[in-house]
Structure 1
Amino acid sequence: MEYVRARGEAASRDIRLLPKAHLHLHFTGSMRPTTMLELADKYGVHLPEALTSGEPPKLRATDERGWFRFQRLYDIARSCLRTPEDIQRLVREAAQEDVRDGSGWLEIQVDPTSYAPLLGGLIPALEIILDAVDAASRETGLGMRVVVAANRMKHPLDARTLARLAVRYADRGVVGFGLSNDERRGMARDFDRAFAIAREGGLLAAPHGGELSGPSSVRACLDDLHAARIGHGVRAAEDPLLLRRLAERGVTCEVCPASNVALGVYEKPEDVPLRRLFDAGVPMALGADDPLLFGSRLAAQYELARKHQGFTDAELAELARQSVRGSAAPSDIQAKLLAGVDDWLAA
């Protein structure tokens, strides 16, 4: 069912002017398609038609073959990033896109091991990324920080190395530690020590869960990794007790509606359980995930909630507040953004 707004109800507020925080954006996936095409041409990277057609590729990752195809496209796109200048361009453009969409705070997620071979090693790669984030933040005025993410397809010892590195750079802009890739592979508990290292070092725990796998994946993130935020988490909607637990603990779910549909987790935008999570009191932060592959950025996620799920402007404003409160932004930036949300609603 698609909701129709009653005549006279305020629906003219521009979503792009709504201050919000963006907590679920992957590094390579944030790249502009035009930038990918330019870099591919520069380095002689052959791009498959799925990345050159001008339309988001047709993906369905609910089976292993579909996830493999998604990951292959992502890896090809990442191979276009080869120099510090490429990294700087990607981060600058991601910040520009977020500012255009009304974001006042961005936590971009990255596994620096993916870029280390071409950037001089793991430590130089992370330093290049953090320098680029700092420069883009100063240039655009957008608050930006980094969530370092381990790959659950790799050995848990690799995750511990990344966690120690992330803690080491907490004073340079790393605010969180994540766990990404196919959640159907690798048990969350195998990474418990890595997350303990990150938490003890003052980092926010934000693993992926509850997207390709069901509620048990979310529970594992809570029980084994002591997550403060869950990347996705939408499948928690299938378990009322789990919803209550997330709401009572105030664990923010980084929900990415467009990617949920693109990857086949849900058939249609109206099937994404935004309303169920919202009504249960589960905090949410809408995110774009990988705009390069899914074709929409941050503001479009709010438009989806408005158009397909009947969220009023007051409810969209509350979603924006939840994104800010779930962020690692300093209290003064949070206060400024929350005041801006009130101003947007009062307009």
Structure 2
Amino acid sequence: MESVRARDEAAIRDLRRLPKAHLHLHFTGSMRSATLLDLADKYGVHLPEALRSGEPPQLRATDERGWFRFQRLYDIARSCLRTPEDIQRLVREAAEEDVRDGSRWLEIQVDPTSYAPRLGGLIPALEIILDAVQSASRDTGLGIRVLVAANRMKHPLDARTLARLAVRYADRGVIGFGLSNDERRGFARDFDRAFAIAREGGLLAAPHGGELSGPASVRDCLDDLHAGRVGHGVRAAEDPVLLSRLASRGVTCEVCPASNVALGVYEKPEDVPLRALFDAGVPMALGADDPLLFGARLAAQYEIARSAHGFTDAELAELARQSVRGSCAPQDAQQGLLAEIDAWLAA
């Protein structure tokens, strides 16, 4: 009976109107399916059916073959971004989608080396991305910042180069430094110097961990990279001591329920340990990860918390607060957002 009442109460409030911050969104993965089709046609790029259908592809990245397929689809989509105008379109549309889903602050993640060959080099690529972010923010009213992410599959020296570049552009909207791709490859400690450069330059350390690998990868993020946030982190639920550590340190986990299921980390939405992390006091920021490949954007992640895990509106509002507190938004912007969340709950 209590769960029925909770659902009835939840149905009153529109989750798209819940103000929130979006802290885990990858650059190419933020693209609209229709935009990908348009750009592929423009450049004569043959898209596999998994990208042409407009439906999320069937992926299972818990084995290396599945991850390779995911990465191949992502690389094909990225190959359709070739000009500054393409970059501007992607960022503007990603911002529009976020605003539609109630986002007031977006921290988008990008490895500029992936775009450098077509955009004139590493520095021009990052400058084009930052210009697009500034323009989209101005046009949509969404606060947007950039997290530069190194690729775990590349040499750690490449990561150091990126870290120095990220620090150089901290005054242009770069707020953090990350580490993405298959966390089962290599060791976090191989990238410790790159993260030290970023932290010494005032950037947030936000590596991926605890998705395809277990709790040990989250501990490595904390111990070796001194993470202030962890991308995903859900596998920490398998270790109560680690949960307590995350909670006591206030380390926000950027949890992406739809992608966890799409990649085969969990069988169904109900299996994602949202409740375990929440009840342990671990701050969470729900994120969409790669909606181009996983289908679900930001508000849908909150809907999973509501429908699959029975989160009440008060708990959903607290999740939104945690996303704001875990962001790099200025304090005055955070306070304004927290007040908007309270107003949503009071309505």
- Do they fold alike, i.e. is TM over 0.5? yes
Q: What's the offset of the Cα at 1:345?
A: 0.1
Once structures 1 and 2 are overlaid, which stretch shifts more, 8-17 or 30-39? 8-17
Deviation beyond 6 Å, 4+ runs, structure 1: none
Q: Tell me: CA distance 1:7–1:215, structure 2 relative to 1, closer, same or farther (3 Å).
A: closer
Quote the Cα distance in structure 1 between the aligned partners of 2:300 and 2:54. Answer: 18
Q: What's the offset of the Cα at 1:52?
A: 0.8
Q: 1:292-331, aligned counterparts within 5 Å?
A: 292-331=292-331
Q: 1:173-188, aligned counterparts within 5 Å?
A: 173-188=173-188
Q: Deviations over 1:223-251 (max 9, x none)?
A: 00000000000000000000000000000
Quote the Cα distance in structure 2 between the aligned partners of 1:5 and 1:66. Answer: 41
Secondary structure, aligned partner of 2:207: strand
Q: What's the offset of the Cα at 1:337?
A: 0.6
The answer for the alignment partner of 1:256 in structure 2 is: 256
Q: Tell me: CA distance 1:139–1:238, structure 2 relative to 1, closer, same or farther (3 Å).
A: same
How many pairs does the alignment contain?
345
The answer for the alignment partner of 2:345 in structure 1 is: 345
- Contact preservation (8 Å) 1:5, 1:310: no
Quote the Cα distance in structure 1 between the aligned partners of 2:118 and 2:21. Answer: 31
Quote the Cα distance in structure 1 between the aligned partners of 2:122 and 2:66. Answer: 30
Q: Deviations over 1:150-190 (max 9, x none)?
A: 00000000000000000000000000000000000020000
2:73 counterpart letter in structure 1: L
Quote the Cα distance in structure 2 between the aligned partners of 1:200 and 1:19. Answer: 32
- Contact preservation (8 Å) 2:95, 2:140: yes
1:299 counterpart letter in structure 2: A
The answer for the alignment partner of 2:284 in structure 1 is: 284
Q: 1:127-142, aligned counterparts within 5 Å?
A: 127-142=127-142
Q: Deviations over 1:119-151 (max 9, x none)?
A: 000000000000000000000000000000000
Quote the Cα distance in structure 1 between the aligned partners of 2:49 and 2:99. Answer: 30
Quote the Cα distance in structure 1 between the aligned partners of 2:341 and 2:161. Answer: 39
1:325 counterpart letter in structure 2: R
1:134 counterpart letter in structure 2: Q
Quote the Cα distance in structure 1 between the aligned partners of 2:224 and 2:140. Answer: 38
- What percent of counterpart residues are identical? 88
Structure 1, unaligned runs of 5 or more = none
Q: Deviations over 1:289-310 (max 9, x none)?
A: 0000000100000001000000
Q: 1:40-119, aligned counterparts within 5 Å?
A: 40-119=40-119
Quote the Cα distance in structure 1 between the aligned partners of 2:265 and 2:128. Answer: 35
Q: What's the offset of the Cα at 1:101?
A: 0.3
TM-score, normalisation: structure 1 = 0.98
Q: What's the offset of the Cα at 1:4?
A: 4.8
2:98 counterpart letter in structure 1: D
Q: What's the offset of the Cα at 1:7?
A: 6.8
1:220 counterpart letter in structure 2: D
TM-score, normalisation: structure 2 = 0.98
Q: What's the offset of the Cα at 1:8?
A: 4.9
Secondary structure, aligned partner of 2:253: strand
2:241 counterpart letter in structure 1: L
Quote the Cα distance in structure 1 between the aligned partners of 2:226 and 2:78. Answer: 30
2:139 counterpart letter in structure 1: E
The answer for the alignment partner of 1:34 in structure 2 is: 34
Q: Tell me: CA distance 1:83–1:282, structure 2 relative to 1, closer, same or farther (3 Å).
A: same
Structure 2, unaligned runs of 5 or more = none
Q: What's the offset of the Cα at 1:286?
A: 0.1
Q: What's the offset of the Cα at 1:12?
A: 1.3
Q: Tell me: CA distance 1:345–1:47, structure 2 relative to 1, closer, same or farther (3 Å).
A: same
Q: What's the offset of the Cα at 1:10?
A: 4.5
2:251 counterpart letter in structure 1: V
Secondary structure, aligned partner of 1:60: coil
Secondary structure, aligned partner of 2:321: helix
Quote the Cα distance in structure 2 between the aligned partners of 1:83 and 1:307. Answer: 41
Quote the Cα distance in structure 2 between the aligned partners of 1:14 and 1:255. Answer: 21
Secondary structure, aligned partner of 2:45: coil
